[in-house]
A and B are shown apart, each in its own frame.
Chain A
Amino acid sequence: MLVVDDNKVNRLLLARGLQELGHSITFAENGREALDTMRRESFDLVVLDIMMPELDGYQVLEKIMMDSDLRDIPVIVVSAMDELDSVVKCIEMGAEDYLSKPLNPVLLKARIGACLEKKWLRDQQRELISKFATSEVAEDLLATGFSLGGKYVEASAMFSDIRGFTTISESQSPEDTIELLNTYYTLMFDAITGHEGVVNQIVGDGLMAIFGAPASNPDHATCAVQAALEMVELVDLFNQEQAGQGKLQLQIGVGVATGQVIAGYTGTQNRATYTCVGDAVNVAARLEAHTKSAGHPILIDENTHLGLNGIITDDDLGLVDIKGKTDKVRVFAIPVPSITASN
């Protein structure tokens, strides 16, 4: 904890009050010293007197808020009773709370406790959200708050799953199956996030990813296809390792389709997921399912083909019947380097 006050009596009072609460304290006698110290060491909380020579509390706060390393540290401003307008200014600038002089130890304890708890909760929240969402979705969520509903975006949707997964899981112990799945996920996540995609759903061995939302990306089609190529390559390498150990190998199928989708949170207020809805999503899923009969691991739709703009070569497979669509869909296959033989 950092205590900033140019007045020795106050520093003494604060030190005593805070030490009673079991915190370790560092002192600064003015604003400049405070900022230097904050940049050198990390603190859980800063108690800042408003009235100080050179740089007053308000100016220190301003500088803290401008520094991305410092702005998340909670600041409690301390003021005299007749300085409430300064306090208001500080709170608007971003101070967490205030205390007035003379300092009351009970209030001190309560305010500091509340502040630290809030910070802890915020850190926990950020960490938790990041476990269940990508950092992009987490930041978006923390910044804009959660609301059901979505917006239209141009994006590429990707589906991928493991061929014959049910059979595989039946031939192994549950532990081995989960281990296999987790290895597969790690590889797939790497490939997808490495190309600016966001994995937004995992259902069994099936994966759904979005390119172009929540953060917009004009090259979403190319990124999606590049990710797909890397996914296939990673599985190939994995298979070589597995073969070396006499363990079973995987085959995956990937479908990518592009178009206007609605991206956002769907579900209820209590349980929701960030996802995409739209024709492109359905087509991507169907394309993925079609990879088996097509004999190609990566299939894309015409919009994705157009989005590639020739950067990646593809083979026109012509018009194909797709479940759920009355009209045939023009499908393209992305050639992959020769894969270990599959059946």
Chain B
Amino acid sequence: MTDPTIDPGTLEALASTTDAQFVHELIDTFLDDAPSLLENLETALSAGDAETFRRAAHSLKSNGASLGAMPFSTSAKALEMIGKSGDLTGAADKVEQLQAEFKEVMKALRDYKDET
């Protein structure tokens, strides 16, 4: 059974220690930031810049996890490891896949916002 796009437990835990409004703010910030991070990934990939690639993947992994987007976070982590290795060959497919996953995450988070 695959993990849900967004783990509701994470967001609920966050909401209980803060409040619904804060979680919404966090979601908005994530959705604002993520596109430019994804863009950084692409640019770094074309430039062959493993370090920038790695950092962008790292941030996406980190933020994904903070918001309960576990599968997304795991994919980002794989990209981070590629960046760490210094060799970006074959990463293009995975970057595309991450972008697709992001669209799912975005939808799930917007649904969550509507429901809370």
Contacts and interface: CB of A to CB of B under 8 A. Distances in A.
A116 B29 CA distance: 30
B29 A8 contact: yes
A10 B26 contact: no
Interface string B11-41: 0000001100010011001101100000000
A99 to B, nearest CB: 13
Q: Interface extent on A, as a size class?
A: 10 to 19
Interface in A3-22: 6-10, 12-13, 16, 20
B75 interface: no
A80 B74 CA distance: 13
Given A8-B29, A9-B33, A13-B66, A80 B61 contact: yes
A7 B29 CA distance: 10
A51 B58 contact: yes
Q: Interface extent on B, as a size class?
A: 20 to 34
B33 A8 contact: yes
B58 A9 contact: no
B82 interface: no
Nearest to B67: A9
A9 B63 contact: yes
A9 B55 CA distance: 15
B65 interface: yes
Contacts of A8: 29, 32-33
Contacts of B10: 102
Contact of B62 (A10, A12, A53, A105): A10
A325 interface: no
B58 A80 contact: yes
Contacts of A101: 62, 65-66
A12 B55 contact: no
A9 B32 CA distance: 10
Given A51-B55, A102-B66, A9 B30 contact: yes
Interface string A84-117: 0000000000000000011101000000000000
A103 B32 CA distance: 20
Contacts of A7: 33, 59, 62-63
B77 to A, nearest CB: 8
B53 to A, nearest CB: 12
Given A7-B59, A7-B63, A10-B63, 8 more contacts: A7-B33, A8-B32, A9-B63, A12-B25, A12-B29, A20-B18, A80-B61, A105-B17
Interface of B: 10, 17-18, 22, 25-26, 29-30, 32-33, 52, 55, 58-59, 61-63, 65-67, 77
Interface of A: 6-10, 12-13, 16, 20, 51-53, 80, 82, 101-103, 105
19 contacts: A6-B59, A7-B59, A7-B62, A8-B29, A8-B33, A9-B29, A9-B30, A9-B33, A9-B66, A12-B26, A16-B22, A20-B18, A51-B55, A80-B61, A82-B77, A102-B10, A102-B65, A102-B66, A103-B66
